[in-house]
Amino acid sequence: MKVAIAGAGAIGGLIAARLAASGQAQVGVLARGRTLAALRQSGLRLQMDGDTFEAPIVASENPADLGPQDVLVIAVKGPSLPTLAPSLKPLIGPQTIILPAMNGIPWWFCLVDGPCRPFALTTVDPEGTIAANLPLAQTFGCVVHIGASCPAPGLVQHAMGRELIIGEALGGLSPRVESVARLLGKAGLDIKPSADIRQDIWFKLWGNLTMNPVSALTGATVDRLLDDPLVREFCTNAMREAASVGESIGCTVAQQPEDRHAITRRLGAFKTSMLQDVEAGRPIELDSIVGATQEIARQLDQPTPCIDAIFGLTRLMARTRGLYPEKIGQL
């Protein structure tokens, strides 16, 4: 089986390394710049379970070098996907499975039939270039529960978790979901096939919607956010708004905010990925996490004052640091 990984960061690199090491697939990695140079010079290295190993992969900056794939894993930051998507066409044949292993709400989330009228998410796919180049019928949804980092180009350090939840974007279980689940499972990942991946995506979003941007705004670790009663209550109210929106689109959240806070507290003095991006001067994934939630609420005419405040404040903070564009996501 041929598998291409677009994006050799922490998650993409980990998936690529596990697949290559398992011998279950011929793995190609799409990379550029310092990462591509490191992969060509030293290979892809993964530190996991106390061991460091080098994975046999082929690296290129040109998708045409890799050709059509059985599975295309997209593991890039959300803001880069609209520009990247057209270039991925040489990797996609009529049977290629597209598996985006990314944060937040994907571009296809509101294009599928559901309780509300289908519409395109302009916060995630402003010009429609993602949808135009990545066929919906070939696309999976994915929820990542893996903690990893890239301390240097071509080097991935695993921290926690091995779980990926995968399912058809259009819903239901299928033989190809089971096939990809077996492939990734044999690579040492914990795979959970889902008949309703939209539900799983929304549940993770509901948990990340507040801690990520509020930590980025304040520079505080999650334990400090929860220790402040005013901040905690504000986050709770935003989560209630998101749960109400989810109910309207068929993605019911059974958990209560306080239950989620208790789980988050177990992480201790944890820095969210968005806070780490701000500290490193990297663009933040605000649109797919907060902006898309707000856009869905507006389509439903549901008020979300707390989510609106999070989006506006975080967007302005990021713009003053050059980490968010001036026009995309302007609502």
Catalytic residues: 204
Question: 229-248 and 257-265 helices cross at what angle (nearest 10)?
Answer: 130
Cβ atoms within 10 Å of 184's Cβ, excluding its own: 25
3-class DSSP assignment, residue 44: strand
Among 31, 36, 2, smallest CA distance to 19 is for: 2
Beta strands in the chain (DSSP E): 2-6, 26-30, 44-48, 51-55, 58-60, 69-74, 92-100, 140-152, 155-168, 190-193
57: Cβ contacts below 8 Å, ≥ 6 apart? 16, 17, 20, 27, 28, 29, 39, 43, 44
Task: Say if residues 142 and 104 touch (Cβ distance below 8 Å).
Answer: no
What does the DSSP assignment read for 243-257? HHHHHHTT----S-H
DSSP for residue 139: B
- With tokens 């749960």, the residue in question is 243
Rg (CA), the chain: 19
